[in-house]
Amino acid sequence: MFTLDQARAFVAVAEELHFGRAADRLHMTQPPLSRQIQKLERALGVVLLLRESRGVRLTEAGRAFLDECRHLVTKAEQAPRQARLIAAGEVGLLRLGYTAGSAFSILGPLVASIREELPGVAVELDEMVTARQLGDLRSGRIDIGLARPPFDADEVESTLLLTEALMVAVPGDHPLALRDAPISSSELRGEPLIMHSPEQARYFRDLVTGLMDVRDDQISHTSSQVLTMVALVAAGQGLALVPESARRLGMAGVNILPLRESPVDLVQLHAVWRGDSTNPALSTVLPLVRRLGEQAAKG
C-alpha cells in the first residue's frame, strides 16, 4: 500500500509537473522525492507520470489518481479539525430529556441559548417523566435531563434551575375564581380535586399531600400531565394544584391563584447529568445551564 505522504508528494509533482519544484514545495530535496514516486508507482503497479527530458507529463491513470489523492489529502486534513471541535464540545449532539412541565418554563430559554451561544451543538429533545430520565441517563440514552427531585447523588450530579410556587387552578365560574387574597388550603376541603398520578408524578403528589389533607373521595381524576389537569379544571371537573408556570398555558376559563400555604420556592426543577459522561458537548453546555439557574434564582 501507499502512504499519505506519498499521496501528498504525488499531488505536488502532478501539479508542478517538475520534480525539483515539487521537492521545494514539500521542503525536501529532489532525489528522495523521485524515489517516493517510484515506490508509489511500484506499489500501485501503474505508471502515473511520463518522465521527459523537459519535465513530466501525467498519464491517464495519473490524472485519475491525482483526483483521488487530492480528496484523500484534504479529507485527512479535515478529520483532525473535526475531531478537535467535537472534543472541545463546540460541535456535537446533546440528548436532552425533559418533563412536560419544564416545557412551559425553562426548556425554551435553555434550548434558545444553546442554539445561540453554541451553534455547533445539536440538541435532541425527548419528553419523559423524571423516573425515565434517570434510567436513560444511567444507560446513556440521554446526556442531561430536566427533572424533579429527589436524585441519588451517587449516580448523578444536578443543579437547581428553577423554583416556583404551587398554585390553585380554579374554573372561571367557581366562587373562588374572583378571590383577590391567596386561597387557604382549608377552603379546598370538600372541593373535587384533580390529583397527580402517584407513580408518574410522585413528586407533585408528595408536595400536595405534604401541604394539605386530601381525602380519597375528594379525588375526581388523577393525571401525570399538568396540561391534562388544567384542561380538566377548564371542563369543570374540579380544582387542581399546579406549578405557577402553568399560567403560561393561557388556558381560557381557568384562573390560577396563589395558595397561602405554598412557599414561593416549593416546586423545584433541576438539571441532572452523569458526572462521568464522556460527551464533551455536555461539559460545554453545563456552564450555560448553571448560569440559567442563577439568573432564575435572582430574577
Q: Which residues bind DNA (CB under 7 A)?
A: 5, 17-20, 27-32, 34-39, 51-56
83 interacts with its own copies by CB under 8 A = yes
> How far is C-alpha 121 from the chain's CA centre?
8
Binds 65, which of DNA, its own copies, none (CB < 5 to 8 A, cut-off by type)?
A: its own copies
User: At closest approach, how far in Å is the CB of 246 from its own copies?
Assistant: 37
Q: Which helix (H) or strand (E) holds 241?
A: strand 239-243
How large is the angle between the packed helices 30-44 and 4-16, nearest 10 degrees? 110
Binding mask 150-169 for its own copies (x = CB under 8 A): --------------------
User: Cβ–Cβ contacts within 10 Å for residue 23, how many?
Assistant: 20
275 interacts with its own copies by CB under 8 A = no
Residues 212 to 231 in contact with its own copies, rule: CB under 8 A: none
Distance CA 117, CA 111 (A): 10
How large is the angle between the packed helices 280-298 and 107-117, nearest 10 degrees? 130
Distance CA 224, CA 235 (A): 17
92 interacts with its own copies by CB under 8 A = yes
Residue with grid cell 506519498, as numbered in its chain: 6
Alpha helices in 26-168 (DSSP H): 30-44, 60-87, 107-117, 130-139
User: At closest approach, how far in Å is the CB of 161 from its own copies?
Assistant: 24
Stretches 78-86, 220-228, 263-271, 290-298: which one binds its own copies (CB under 8 A)?
78-86
User: At closest approach, how far in Å is the CB of 218 from DNA?
Assistant: 51
User: At closest approach, how far in Å is the CB of 51 from its own copies?
Assistant: 13
Cell numbers given for 84 = 478537535
Binds 199, which of DNA, its own copies, none (CB < 5 to 8 A, cut-off by type)?
A: none
Stretches 25-33, 39-47, 187-195, 227-235: which one binds its own copies (CB under 8 A)?
39-47
Q: Which residues pair with 194 in a beta bridge?
A: 221, 240
User: At closest approach, how far in Å is the CB of 58 from DNA?
Assistant: 12
Number of residues that bind its own copies (CB under 8 A): 39
Distance CA 102, CA 144 (A): 13
Distance CA 202, CA 207 (A): 9
46 interacts with its own copies by CB under 8 A = yes
C-beta closer to its own copies: residue 148 or 274: 274
Binds 71, which of DNA, its own copies, none (CB < 5 to 8 A, cut-off by type)?
A: its own copies
